[in-house]
Amino acid sequence: MFAYISGRLALSLVTLWLVSVAAFVLMRVAPGDAATASLALSPGEASLSLDQLERRRHELGLDRPYVVQYVDWMGDLLRLDPGRSAASGLPVISEVRPRLGVTMELATITLAMVAVLGAGSGLLAAAARGGWVDVFVRAFALIGLSTPAFWMGLIAIIALASWANVFVAASFTPLWEDPWVNLQAVLPAAAVLAVRPAALVARVARSTVSETLSQDFIRAARARGLNEAAVLWRHAFRAAALPVVTVIGVEALFLLGGAVAVEQVFGLPGIGRALVAGVIERDYPLVQFLLVLFGAFAVAVSLVVDVTCAWLDPRLRAV
């Protein structure tokens, strides 16, 4: 097991380095320029002189060769100092720190909803194949997979804030200051973000558990007199857990991408919203750091999923 984890950890570090290279290159080849964006305070760029642009490029270090820029940036990143924002002039860490807590809270609540709602409903549907619960879960999965998150978010805001006068949209309040006000802002966003992955997990859980329930060891467990709840949880679900865990892990990788749209819709000051603003402003240090942060999250989730799957099925340790 140690050799397996060591190999996956080494692969994760290589992947994270490739993410940093891709983040640096993509920002440099994208249309626009950080110097122009930071100086263009009004629509149009005709009023900016060439001397102003060159001076600003020198201040930001953009007049150096790309290789030198990347090496300097990586050196600062390894020292946990990703530089200063080209737009605000503030340290990137101070810009990201308060936003990271918002996104991590959103992602944690969303993952909990996905695991409980998706796996639970899939298990119930498999146990009641052909019944109304099965039909309801399959209908939920179909609707959830077919509906865009941003559109569902807009409908949720209208339904909750306008019609029902519940979870009224307001400014964001940290969890430690007022938990109830905080959850009023985060829970609707987490619910909207969880619908699609929960629908997919429910379909996978239903399919795998249904297939497992037809196996010989399930019939043997029932023949020993075990009640149906024990058969479902202790035997069927544990045997079918591998694909469910894999799907949850894969969907967790897409949570940050979905958080970009959901944070915009619900006005949450998370890192997804900061990424959109940074791309518009061509804020190289901020966007590059956020992309690496997203990559680190994806690599960490993939590593946890690999280790969990290897623990559930020892045969995978030889892969």
pLDDT digits (tens, 9 = 90+) for 266-283: 778 888 888 888 888 788
Task: Please check whether residue 63 lies inside any domain of the structure.
Answer: no
What confidence tens digit (pLDDT) does each residue in 173-205 have?
A: 777 777 777 787 788 888 888 888 888 888 888
Task: Please check whether residue 264 lies inside any domain of the structure.
Answer: yes
Mean pLDDT of 233-247: 73
- pLDDT beyond 60 at 207: yes
Output the pLDDT for position 49. Answer: 66
pLDDT, the chain, mean: 77
Name which residue leads in pLDDT, 160 or 271.
Answer: 271
Task: Please check whether residue 13 lies inside any domain of the structure.
Answer: no
At residue 94's C-alpha, the angle toward residues 26 and 97, to 5°, is 85
Output the pLDDT for position 144. Answer: 81
Q: Integer distance in angstroms from the first to the last C-alpha of the chain?
A: 12
Task: Please check whether residue 150 lies inside any domain of the structure.
Answer: yes
Output the pLDDT for position 274. Answer: 84
Task: Please check whether residue 33 lies inside any domain of the structure.
Answer: no
Name which residue leads in pLDDT, 285 or 178.
Answer: 285
Number of domains in the chain: 1
Output the pLDDT for position 47. Answer: 58
Mean pLDDT of 224-243: 70
Task: Please check whether residue 17 lies inside any domain of the structure.
Answer: no
Task: Please check whether residue 185 lies inside any domain of the structure.
Answer: yes
Which residues form the domain of 163?
Answer: 92-280
* Angstrom distances, CA of residue 184 to CA of 136, 171, 247: 28, 10, 29
Q: Could you give the percent of the chain with pLDDT greater than 90?
A: 0
The confidence band for 314, taking pLDDT boundaries of 50, 70 and 90, is low
Q: For residue 249, how far is the Cα from the chain centroid?
A: 10
Neighbours of 65 (CB within 10 A): 8
What confidence tens digit (pLDDT) does each residue in 94-130 have?
A: 888 888 888 888 888 888 888 888 888 888 888 777 7
Output the pLDDT for position 45. Answer: 47
> What is the rounded CA–CA span in Å between residue 34 and residue 57?
8
Lowest mean pLDDT segment, chosen from 40-54, 204-218, 257-271, 292-306: 40-54
Task: Please check whether residue 32 lies inside any domain of the structure.
Answer: no
Q: Where are the alpha helices (DSSP H) in 254-318?
A: 255-266, 271-280, 284-312
CATH number at residue 178: 1.10.3720.10
- pLDDT beyond 80 at 156: no
- pLDDT beyond 60 at 43: no
Q: Which amino acid is at 262?
A: V
What does 42-73 look like in DSSP terms, one character per residue?
SS-STT--HHHHHHHHHHHTTTS-HHHHHHHH
